[in-house]
Amino acid sequence: MTQKSALISGITGQDGSYLAELLLEQGYQVYGLVRRTSHINFERIRHIQDKIHFIPGDLADLTSLIYALRESQPHEVYNLAAQSFVPTSWVQPILTGDITAIGVTRMLDAIRAVDPTIRFYQASSSEMFGKVQEVPQTERTPFYPRSPYGVAKVYGHWITVNYRESYNLHASSGILFNHESPRRGLEFVTHKVTYNAAKISLGLANELRVGNLDAQRDWGYAGDYVRAMWLMLQQPTPDDYVVATGKTHSVQRLIEVAFDCLDLDWRRYVVQDAKFMRPAEVDLLIGNPEKARAVLGWEPTVTFEQMIEMMVKADYDQLKAEHQL
Ligand code: NAP
Ligand code: G4F
């Protein structure tokens, strides 16, 4: 049997690192599209970097995507690259649109030009549901995005559906709810909380400043979610799937769980700061993953509490070692 190959955009990100691990385990040749930076940022993939073929490229640059596809000749493309932080999308709305929205068209058009038999995964988001029109959210729930990021992801989703219907591409869109891990960027609320709770516990900080404590999210574990991406591209026909746990928790509950892991009373340390409030908020996300369960056989394996504990422990151990405590 010929070895399968896959090109991952966003391979240096949280999800890219877990997906690369999964595909290597499955025996794939893994190619990673990476942007040129003045400083190599391979922290999340250092342990597997010798097994990955890196190709320079940027979602802003169609030519680089065509070269990358010609060089890698992939069976599957996972488009995970994006400007993915919601608050940044209000300060850089045009860049967010160019990468997170139009970047998807560039990748799809490059696939169409180079080899339309390539299977395509688009990293869509529960942020598209925004001001939710239904609880819980399914593949049929109408979108009402609440940030330039959410708007860009709606475009990315619909252009994926459109290329599937227009050109018969095997293009699937995964509507993934929030998923976290010790590799999550420190700017996202879960990692910000676990990292700062660990710092406080070690005497390296004395407060944590956050925004809206009432927002609710359906938080899962990134390692579980990349399995769903791969399963989508193994199906005979392309489709769209919600990937979620079906449970929701508030930011306050997240803080309680994280601080409890370290026997800390969160009320003594957590300060609300208007700086972290958003111009428009997504108040409640909770997904119904029934279709992913029924068609893909996908189920989450790590609970919210287990994941937060895993993140707290990883941060605590790393800070302790770094500061020789
Ligand atoms: P992440 O950690 O922020 O990683 C984003 C990746 O995109 C990084 O590798 C980044 O490269 C790359 N990138 C950014 N701009 C690029 C450009 N112009 N050209 C090429 N690469 C570019 O994000 P993540 O959490 O892994 O999420 C992966 C994808 O899923 C994103 O599309 C995100 O919007 C979407 N998503 C995430 C979640 C979640 O909860 N994590 C939920 C739903 C959807 P650098 O390392 O060079 O910056
Ligand atoms: O962790 P967050 O920044 O994630 P958000 O905005 O839900 O977006 C993430 O999940 C999306 C899927 O739904 C992805 F598409 C997207 O790429 C990204 O991965 O914020 C979660 C909640 C928000 O309601 C925010 O207002 O936490 C609230 N929050 C409260 N204090 C905070 C803070 N968020 C951050 N980042 N920092 C705070 O201090």
- pLDDT in the model for residue 325: 94
Nearest CA to ligand 2 atom 9: 178
- pLDDT in the model for residue 198: 98
For the segment 160-165, the average pLDDT, to the nearest whole number, is: 98
Q: What is the mean pLDDT of the chain?
A: 98
Q: Mind listing the pLDDT tens digit for each residue in 277-309?
A: 999 999 999 999 999 999 999 999 999 999 999
269 a catalytic residue: no
Catalytic residue among 64, 125, 147, 172: 125
Kindly state if the Cβ of 167 falls inside 6 Å of ligand 2: no
Answer whether CATH 3.90.25.10 is correct for domain 185-218+248-284+302-322: yes
Nearest CA to ligand 1 atom 14: 82
**pLDDT band at 229; cut points 50, 70, 90:** very high
195 a catalytic residue: no
Asked if 220 and 249 touch (Cβ cutoff 8 Å), the reply is no
**pLDDT band at 151; cut points 50, 70, 90:** very high
- pLDDT in the model for residue 13: 98
- pLDDT in the model for residue 299: 98
Residue (of 227, 242, 224, 120) closest to 174 by Cα position: 242
Kindly state if the Cβ of 81 falls inside 6 Å of ligand 1: yes
Per-domain residue ranges for the chain? Answer: 5-179+221-243, 185-218+248-284+302-322
To test the ligand 2 pocket, which listed residue (96, 154, 186, 189) has its Cβ within 8 A of the most ligand atoms? 189
CATH of the domain spanning 5-179+221-243? 3.40.50.720
For the segment 137-164, the average pLDDT, to the nearest whole number, is: 99
Kindly state if the Cβ of 210 falls inside 6 Å of ligand 2: yes
149 a catalytic residue: yes
For the segment 42-70, the average pLDDT, to the nearest whole number, is: 98
Contacts 24+ apart (CB under 8 A), 94-99: 96/148, 96/149, 96/152, 97/148, 97/151, 97/152, 97/155, 98/60, 99/59, 99/60, 99/152
Nearest CA to ligand 1 atom 28: 80
Nearest CA to ligand 2 atom 8: 86
**pLDDT band at 1; cut points 50, 70, 90:** confident
For the segment 25-35, the average pLDDT, to the nearest whole number, is: 98
